[in-house]
Structures are given as C-alpha cells and as structure tokens.
Amino acid sequence: MRVLVTGGAGFIGSHVVDALVAHGHEPVVFDVREDPDADVRDREAVARALYGVDAVCHQAAMVGLGNGFADACEYVARNDLGTAVLLTAMADAGVRRLVLAGSMVVYGEGRYACARHGVVRPGPRAVADLAAGRFEPRCPECGAELNSELVGEDAPVDPRNVYATTKLAQEHLAAAWARATDGVAVSLRYHNVYGPRMPRDTPYAGVASFFRSALARGEAPRVFEDGRQRRDFVHVRDVAAANVAALEAAAPAGALTAYNTGSGEPHTVGEMARALAAACRGPEPVVTGEYRLGDVRHITADSSRLRAELGWQIRIGFADGMREFARAELREG
C-alpha cells in the first residue's frame, strides 16, 4: 500500500513511517520539516502529493494546550483548515482510506463515578479550588469524592481548550468526508505518547519531554498539582503499530470509527516523573502545587476496542519504556 503520511518527519509520524516500511508498505512523507512547500493548507501541494496514493495517515497538526485563546486562529488554520483541504483533495483524487491522529483531549475530564449518584460529569475545575490545592473534581450533585474510571469511546465529548476543540472538529470533518465519499475513516485517539524523537523544550511538548529535558540539565522535574493526576502513557512505537493496524484492517465505509489508543495501564504523573528520574539517575522530582487552567485531572483509556477489533496489543510496558526514554534521542522543535 502506498501511504501518504502528513507530518511524517515529526515525532509520531516518523515512527509511523518506520512501521509502514517494516510491514512492506510504501510511505510518502509530506512534512514542512523536509519541504517548506509541504503544507496541508496548500491545495495544489496536497493534490500533487496524493498522486498514486492508496491511503492517508494524517499526523500533521499543531499540538499542545496552547496559550489561552491567543493562538486560536493558528490552531484552527493548521488543524481544521488543513484537514479540510486534505479531505477535499482526497475526495477529488479518489483516495478513500484515512487514519487520523486523534486525541483523548476530546473527552475533557475522564470518567468519574460517585458512590451515591453513579457516573457523573464534573464541570471544569474552579480557579479558587486549584489555587487552594483542591485538585480533585467533586460530584456535581452532592459534592462527594469521586472515583476515576477508564474512558470508553462512547463517552460524551467535552473539549475544554482550543487544541481539543480543533481535534474534535477534525473527527467531524473526517466523518463528513466518509459519508460523502463512502470512504473509510479511523481516528486513533492517542493518550499520552512518549518515546524517542520526542521534541524537547518547546511550548507544545508533552510532560514526559519536559521532565526528560530537566533531568538532562541536572535539574529536578517539576510536577504540577500534587502529582497524583492519572494518565495513560503509551509508547510511540506502539502508537505507530496501531496506525498500521488501522490502515490494514477492514473497517466500515461511510463512517468514522474512533479507537482509544493507550496502554491500558494508568500511572500518575508523579509516578512517571519518579520512574524517569530513577532511570536517568537524576534528582528526585519536586511537586510544586502549580497548575494550568485547561488541564484535566484524570484521563485514562479503555483501549479494549482497539485490541479486540484490530488485534493490536502493547509491546512496550511502562517500566521498560521509561528506561529506554531516559536514554533516547530527543529532537529540537
């Protein structure tokens, strides 16, 4: 299969390219890092890149929490306009298979259950609570403590920042394209991806990269809140394998299918910082109590649908992945 990989020179995209080659496919990299004219917003450039292509793996995106609302236009232009241009060109070229780099951020907060009221949906955390160190969401009905649970793909979506909103819009665009063209669209909702080639010291890098960069400088990782916020850290090579599985699998035409793409092994941010510090033989993490508006408290994946339907499985566990990441090469920007 000849596969156009947008963002194919980036962190996740480059691993997708490697995985495609390993499985006997022919990746075509489309990335502004390698060619300044390879912009998904450029209709002519995208049309040329699609020549002879059988499928598209769309990894190109502006990522990260962002800067309040100041960069909203840039996010929408790169993520949503770029996706619309790509899908329009695919429709014109007769390319009918898409795998989209989705994100768990479309859910907002994770799944919570109250002992009295069952599954509930807490709203955004209040600034006053965060400033006072009250980080855990409470039941919106009775104010009681909540238990966090794994999030399934059928959970309601609730994007809580500009980046999250654009990632959800990408899925809606892909679903509309699939209906209009009878195409096959799969969105892999990535959880916290880490691993070799992760960008270092950029405003949009993941928390694992920030911790690793601090340790490389001989500094202690700075952990926000109380360090007990739970995430699902999934290795980039496992994510790349999920992309190949989605490209190769039979999937329903005329609709978008979403799959959580996580390890299924939740860990706290503090655990991750300690594991990485130990692997780097660096200083112990410092829990700062600081917070970022727009961050969610707990979000962990139920990836059983991806395993059951596509036969995908995790190959790199948390402990092994952190030991490798402690020595892995990071990239600039």
| The pair of three-digit structure tokens given for residue 53, joined into one six-digit string | 């292509």
H-only helix segments in the chain? 11-22, 43-49, 72-75, 82-93, 127-131, 162-181, 207-216, 236-248, 269-280, 304-310, 318-327
Amino acid residing at 212: R
Backbone angles phi, psi at 20, to 5 degrees: -65, -45
> What is the spatial distance between Cα 252 and Cα 113, in angstroms, rounded to a whole number?
33
Among 175, 136, 166, 320, smallest CA distance to 256 is for 175
Torsion sign over Cα 80, 84, 89, 93? positive
Tell me which of 75, 107, 163, 194 is the catalytic residue.
163
Output Rg (C-alpha) for the chain, integer angstroms. 20
Q: Are strands 222-223 and 286-287 parallel, antiparallel or unpaired?
A: parallel
Rounded CA gap, 39 and 45, in Å?
7
Question: What angle in degrees, to the nearest 10, is found between the helix axes of 236-248 and 11-22?
Answer: 50
Residues sharing a CB contact under 8 Å with residue 325, sequence separation 6 or more, in sequence order = 194, 195, 196, 198, 208, 212, 276, 279
- Structural tokens at position 283: 């200083």
**Helix or strand (DSSP H, E) at 136:** none
Helices (H), 117-183: 127-131, 162-181
Q: Determine whether 51 is an active site residue.
A: no
Catalytic residues: 163
